[in-house]
Amino acid sequence: MFAYRFKVIFEEQDGFSRDVELGVDQTFLDFYNIITGNLSLDKTLPSSFYLSDHRFRKKKEITQPGMEEEPETESQDNTGEETSMKERKLRMDKCPLNKFIDDPHQRFLFIYDLSKGWTFYIELSKIVSRDKNSEYPRVINSEGPVPLEISKKPRPLPGIEDEDDLEMDENEMAPDEQDISSDTQETYGEEDMDEFDDSSFYNDAIGGSHDLDEDKL
């Protein structure tokens, strides 16, 4: 048995690449799973492979299972035969790789999160003998970190806390305020606290400073 070895690069990050091997009988869904698994991508976001020419121009789309499909409608081609839109849809789990490779340097596109269009360029680099002791698909070489902008775990914004942490119950605050007040009164006593509130304390302090200046003179 043989395996396909593909080079995968990412459009937005220089120095990023993955060498991935898949069995010739494996599907685009296997390819999808190894890419998203290796990069910890969010599988709930719609993504597709595209058959392409040697210049990476899009041709036929291969969608992931679960994506919304167009309603089945009947149409006629140039020969007058009726076909359906649903029949012309290609799905990853229904498309073995060996049915779509006819070039020694076959190229595909993988677009993650179709709303943002993060694009991976894929090229067949070699056909190799399959290792009987290894599981496929597999990543045999990795260069460069996972691109942060497509990571499934977004970076938290600095200074922004969880709303649950910011919301505090007033009833929970009341005992703390009571404790602070009682501690203060125990330290200074009620009479001392009244002295701080008395404006005469401020006036006496100013008068004392004038007396100090006269002594220096």
Greater confidence (128 vs 214) lies with 128
Greater confidence (101 vs 88) lies with 101
Tokens representing 35 are 């890419």
- Torsion over CA: 28, 29, 34, 40 (sign): positive
- Domain membership of residue 79 (yes or no) is no
Q: Are residues 141 and 64 in the same domain?
A: yes
3-7, 16-20, 81-85, 89-93: least confidently modelled range: 81-85
- Domain membership of residue 136 (yes or no) is yes
- Domain membership of residue 36 (yes or no) is yes
Residue 15's domain comprises 2-68+84-150
Q: pTM for this structure?
A: 0.63
The backbone torsions φ and ψ at residue 74, rounded to the nearest 5 degrees and listed phi first, read -90, 140
- Torsion over CA: 25, 30, 34, 35 (sign): positive
Q: Are residues 145 and 172 in the same domain?
A: no
- Domain membership of residue 188 (yes or no) is yes
Work out the pLDDT band at 164, boundaries 50, 70, 90. Answer: very low
Quick one: which of 27, 29, 10 has its CA closest to 18? 10
Alpha-helix runs per DSSP H in 158-198: 163-166, 170-197
pLDDT at 148: 78
Q: Are residues 138 and 175 in the same domain?
A: no
Query: Tokens 């070489």 sit at which residue?
Result: 141
pLDDT at 175: 47
pLDDT at residue 168 greater than cutoff 70: no
Q: Are residues 125 and 200 in the same domain?
A: no
Tokens representing 154 are 């977004």
Quick one: which of 137, 108, 152, 131 has its CA closest to 19? 137
Q: What is the amino acid identity at position 146?
A: V
Q: What is the pLDDT of residues 55-96, one digit of tens each?
A: 999 999 999 998 755 444 444 555 555 444 445 689 999 999
